[in-house]
Amino acid sequence: MTSILILNGPNLNLLGTRQPEVYGATTLADVEAMCRAHDTGFDISFEQSNHEGVLIDLIHAAKGVHAGIILNAGAFTHTSIALMDAIASVELPVVEVHLSNIHAREAFRHKSFIAPVALGQICGFGAQGYLLALDALKGHLSH
């Protein structure tokens, strides 16, 4: 069975309690349960870290293990050239996910260092965005 890494960055461990007016009431455990219940035929690995280096190590370790990555890099989206370089180096399809619509928020959130090396970006659909990303990867990998 094909394996997908779902990788979540800083502060996403606080989902459900952190700014629910922006990010919703769904917890990260809820997101994981939704993804595991979504019938895509994928084995799913689910990881979260508040540390950039740990996220980079997880991306590196995905090569040869996972067929693709779903990444919500949180605020590192807007700051991390290192994450961008890690994604480019592993040559795996990556779908960038954001719970909120980053393009409708503060100007500094409009720039994504992940987007240039991602297969695509899904933002603004809350936790449903992860399921959309799973479907997008399934479609991409079946071609």
> In a 3-state reduction of DSSP, which class is residue 97?
strand
Tally Cβ neighbours within 10 Å of residue 139: 9
Closest CA to 141 of 18, 41, 28, 27: 41
Told to judge if 23 belongs to the known catalytic residues of this protein, a careful annotator would answer yes
* Catalytic choice (23, 51, 66, 140): 23
Told to judge if 98 belongs to the known catalytic residues of this protein, a careful annotator would answer yes
* Catalytic choice (60, 78, 98, 110): 98
- DSSP letters for 40-90: SS-EEEEEE-S-HHHHHHHHHHHTTT-SEEEEE-GGGGGT-HHHHHHHHHH
Residues 6+ apart with CB under 8 A from 128: none
Active-site residue set:
23, 98
